[in-house]
Amino acid sequence: MAGRLRALFHRRVWLWGLIGFVAALQLALVSRSLISGNGPGNVSGNSSGNVSGNVSGNPSAQSADLAYRPAETGLAAAIRQLSLMPADSLLGHIAYTEAPTNTLSPVLPNGSIQLRDPAAERFLAMVKAARANGVKLIPLSGFRSVEEQTYLFFTLKAKQALSAKERAQVSAPPGYSEHHTGYAVDIGDGDRPDTDLETRFDETPAFRWLRANAARFGFELSFPEGNPQGVSYEPWHWRFVGDRHSLETFYKR
């Protein structure tokens, strides 16, 4: 009996010893990571060890280590930016397929501007509602073919001697315009044609009315200020997201 008790006591001592050893080891590891960076011996233990580990101990190792940190931040920022953009994008614009012509309806009596059927119907209802509030919404551009966008992008780019990047900030490359979908419409104020396709369109009654009411008709601003795509602010450019197909067109990735 006494022998069994002694054996049990010894097992307990051994167990507590093991627990104590593990705890001490953990404490040592934690304190090492807390003070890492304070001494050259610990440099290789941190995340930038691959950069400065081979020269640890000399003063320039510390400065190389510090100089490397902003680069890490820049890389992380670039990855974040990339993760916001789908793979099929070009200069900040997303690829879109052209709406079939038999899905389009005119939004002007002369038929010169067309939108996809549900967008056209809601756009005309929106024009009527705005008119009842004394506001004149004028469609300036609707569906655009890839061919038309090719002209707009390359001819005007050449005429204005812009780089591809500069041109892409104000216009989508062919194949990458929301106008191809038939859901995007550029809107002007009938009483302020001088603000057509200008940033100061956002000072007009038409813009203020759209800001307050467009969502009721399924329209939203595509490129608000500071948009994640990096496209310049376009207060005149609105897109229809009021049914399943249009919503999937712009949001499903």
Nearest-CB residue to Zn ion? 237
Interface residues with Zn ion (CB under 5 A) are 186, 237
Taking the complex as a whole, how short is the minimal distance between the CB of residue 153 and Zn ion, in angstroms? Answer: 13
Torsion of Cα atoms, 28 then 31 then 33 then 38, to 10°: -120
Looking at the Cβ atoms of 52 and 149, the one nearer to Zn ion is 149
For 84, the token pair is 């916001």
3-state helix, strand, coil in the chain (%, to 5): 60, 10, 30
The number of CA neighbours under 13 Å toward the Cβ of 51 is 15
For 207, the token pair is 């813009």
Q: Which of 148, 220, 225, 234 is catalytic?
A: 234
Q: What are the backbone dihedrals phi and psi of residue 186, each rounded to the nearest 5 degrees, phi first?
A: -90, 130
Q: Which residue has the tokens 């916001």?
A: 84
Looking at the Cβ atoms of 55 and 140, the one nearer to Zn ion is 140
Nearest Cα residue to 177 out of 219, 139, 218, 149: 149
Taking the complex as a whole, how short is the minimal distance between the CB of residue 97 and Zn ion, in angstroms? Answer: 17
Taking the complex as a whole, how short is the minimal distance between the CB of residue 58 and Zn ion, in angstroms? Answer: 58
Taking the complex as a whole, how short is the minimal distance between the CB of residue 237 and Zn ion, in angstroms? Answer: 4
Looking at the Cβ atoms of 65 and 186, the one nearer to Zn ion is 186
Please indicate whether residue 198 is annotated as part of the active site: no
Taking the complex as a whole, how short is the minimal distance between the CB of residue 160 and Zn ion, in angstroms? Answer: 17
Looking at the Cβ atoms of 186 and 189, the one nearer to Zn ion is 186
State how far the Cα of 107 lies from the Cα of 104, in Å rounded to an integer: 10
Q: Is the dihedral of CA 86, 88, 93, 94 positive or negative?
A: negative
Looking at the Cβ atoms of 186 and 202, the one nearer to Zn ion is 186
**Are the C-beta atoms of 135 and 209 separated by less than 8 Å?**
yes
Which helix (H) or strand (E) segment holds residue 159: the answer is: helix 156-159
Active site residues: 234
